[in-house]
Amino acid sequence: RSSALLLSLLAASLSFSDAATSAPFSYDPEDPNGPQNWHTLPMSNNQCAGKKNSPIPIESRGCDRYDDYEFKNGDCRYDNMQYSLTNTGVKASFPSDEDACDRPTVNIPGIKGTFEALQFHIHTSSEHTIDGEFFGAELHTVHKDLAGDRFAVVGTLIQPSAAKSNMFFEELLLGWEYMSDNNNVMCGQPPAAKTHRGLGNGKNELIFSPYNMLADDVAFYHYDGGLTTPPCSEVVWWNLADKPLPISANQYMRLVDLVTGFLDPTTCKLGSNAGPAGSTSRPVQPIYGRTVERVCPTNMMHEN
pLDDT given for residue 194 in this prediction:
58
DSSP-assigned letters across all residues of 38-54:
GGGS--TT--TTSSS-S
* Cα 283 from Cα 76, distance rounded (Å): 33
pLDDT given for residue 222 in this prediction:
98
Cis preceding-peptide flag for 231 (omega within 30 of 0): yes
Q: CA triplet 260, 262, 265: central angle to 5 degrees?
A: 170
Mean pLDDT, 10 residues at a time, the chain of 304 residues: 42 32 75 96 96 98 97 94 93 91 97 97 97 98 96 98 95 94 90 55 76 96 98 98 97 95 91 89 98 96 73
pLDDT given for residue 8 in this prediction:
41
* Cα 259 from Cα 278, distance rounded (Å): 8
pLDDT given for residue 277 in this prediction:
86
Q: Which residues, 6+ apart, have CB-to-CB distance to 200 below 8 Å?
A: 78, 83, 174, 175, 176, 177, 178, 179
Amino acid at 73: N
Residue 177 phi/psi, 5-degree rounding, is -65, -35
Chain centre to alpha carbon of residue 171:
16
Q: Model-level pTM?
A: 0.89
DSSP-assigned letters across all residues of 269-295:
EE-----TTS---PPP---TT---EEE
pLDDT given for residue 98 in this prediction:
82
Amino acid at 210: P
* Cα 17 from Cα 271, distance rounded (Å): 9
pLDDT given for residue 192 in this prediction:
72
